[in-house]
Amino acid sequence: MLKVLSTGQTDVGLKRTNNEDAYLVRIDLGLVALADGMGGAAAGELASQFFTESSLEVFSRAGPPSGSDRAELIQYSFELANQRILSHVEENPHHRGMGCTAELLVFSSERFTLGHVGDSRTYLFRQGRLRQLTQDHSLVQDQVNQGLITEQEARRHPLRNVILRAVGTRETLEVDLIRGTLTDKDIYLLCSDGLSDMIDDDAIRTTLALRAGLSEKAERLVEQAKSAGGLDNITVVLSEIVYE
């Protein structure tokens, strides 16, 4: 029997005065989600809330997803949030430029389906190895893909926060959909760039490998990001697969 354990942690960090991140943990509906708002002050906070609320609304109406409709529900969640943000900006022009990056991970039977837009990330920790499932929709990632800069140079690049794709910035939204099979003891990490910009993959892997509960691991990741400078809001969602 499949069981999913999940927890979330969010922190404003050491430099920001407000938290524009939001997360959602609803294992009863088979989903976890994370959004990182942009646009400043209330606008960024609203954008991330639009995403988590839209996801919850879509999946609450539909109930736990079957294998065939997970991708459709994920796509609709992104589209609904995208339209709500655009409509809000039309009615509130002073919020122009608001939007969010987002991750929506859905578990069903023995498989997962992941929707991804922006530079928030989802990682898979399996059998001691850490793998990034998503690819950043950012200017520096495009340059890495073209071989113009290295991964190490990308981490320090002054334009690393320039996002090429986000929820709520254009009428048409392209969502990356990633699918895979669940394995016992898998740990899935959703995080905002407030974590991934502050600590490297080795530090993440070391923490996820600890003999500790999910909540303690999440807390440690947040504290590591703060110890490294805490330049942005930090949000972590962890989900562990357990077969009983």
Q: Do the domain assignments include residue 156?
A: no
Give yes or no for residue 159 having a pLDDT over 90.
no
From the number of C-beta atoms within 10 Å of its C-beta (0-12, 13-18, 19+), residue 52 rates as buried
Give the residue numbers spanning the domain of 115.
Answer: 2-133+166-243
CATH code for the domain in which residue 227 is found: 3.60.40.10
Given this model, what pLDDT does residue 183 score?
A: 96
Q: Do the domain assignments include residue 155?
A: no
Q: Do the domain assignments include residue 188?
A: yes
Residue pair 28/37 in contact (Cβ under 8 Å)? The answer is no
Structure tokens given for 24 = 């959602």
Q: Do the domain assignments include residue 202?
A: yes
- Among 112-126, 153-167, 172-186, which is the least confidently predicted range? 153-167
Q: Do the domain assignments include residue 160?
A: no
The DSSP 8-state label assigned to residue 65 in this structure reads P
| First-last CA distance in the chain | 5
Q: Do the domain assignments include residue 147?
A: no
Total structural domains within the chain: 1
Q: Is the pTM of this model over 0.85?
A: yes
